[in-house]
Amino acid sequence: MSTDIVIPVAAEHSYDVVIGRGLLGHLPRMLEGATRVAIIHPGALVVSAEAMRADLSDHGFEVTMIEVPEAEDQKTAEVAAFCWTALGAAGFTRSDAVVGLGGGATTDLAGFVAATWLRGIRVVQVPTTLLGMVDAAVGGKTGINTDAGKNLVGSFWSPRGVVCDVTALETLPRNDLLAGMAEVVKVGFVRDTSILDDVESEPADATDPSGDLLTDLIRRAVQVKADVVSSDFRETSATMGDGSLGREVLNYGHTFGHAVERRERYRWRHGAAVSVGMVFVAELAGLGGRLSESEVERHRSVLTSLGLPITYPAGHWPELLAAMSVDKKTRGSLLRFVVLNGIGNPGIWAGPDPTFLAAAYDAVSR
């Protein structure tokens, strides 16, 4: 326990993100006071969920298992309603708790279910993917998808704790691990540029879940998110007191990325879509004179070194533009993009020239 990394986050209440190995012992403390605990998990993690159930039962909790579909298929109103029905059947009260065990889609769903059951019960997140650890499980954004777009129905509801057991990454499919690296690299582009330096110099070590570098990259990515969330929990501030961008900075690459996910009916991994989204917005910033050609190229080289996609097929611009128009960051009819005015120096570009947008798409669809 002494080697565990603990990062505090301040939001509507304070909580800890714990990073390390063999962390199951932290759960009872985070759930203290609950009588009933529901473990929301995909079928692929039934063995891990059963082990968690046994441990929590030994600590006196009444455990309900709620198995949900895989990946984005679980982020629907129908699945959320299934979870609510299970909580009602088990008699869950305001003092009880939900545990989200799985990737980012599971933690999004579990957080939303907890936020809406009896207008809010506790949730503890146990992400099992890299993307979940550095992004989805931390920060208190919860949500489900609709036909209109991704995460358009949701709430801000902070967890009571987040347990990032890096051991889980050793059995994570390689493509899922690499997709999670897109969110790590995102933090490097917008805030902690040392992440980019380390990934560029040691790409193999950066993606080795048994080594120390990946754990440290997770720590640095989580620390940035914790700092941003603590300052702007509900993403209401355009800039902070020190002039830095608020929580919206964490959406770098996401406007175009979410449009890709929607067009692909969520068959693309989130990180893969965000990877292309970062290249798109880098090209946009280059066209607007905000990034140099070498800085745009750095996006391509870093992401390519990790095996992430940097292009998207041509011929779909009207559909992608329409999807971006209903993105959460849009204000009225005005598209807003997080862009870079140099690596590590993010800003907002509201209403870029449509010819720039089309040209940026042409650049990523070559």
Active site residues: 119, 141, 183, 225, 235, 247, 251, 254, 258, 270
Q: Confirm if 136 and 103 have CB atoms less than 8 A apart.
A: yes
**CB < 8 Å & 24+ apart, contacts of 81-86:** 83/38, 83/40, 83/109, 83/113, 84/113, 84/116, 84/117, 86/38
Element (H, E) at 97: strand 97-102
Number of alpha carbons in the 13 Å side-chain half-sphere of residue 64:
20
**Residue 334 in 3-state DSSP?**
strand
CA distance linking residue 80 with residue 85, whole number of Å: 9
φ and ψ of 236, to 5 deg: -110, -10
Name, in order, each residue with C-beta under 8 angstroms of 300's C-beta and a sequence gap of 6 or more: 279, 310
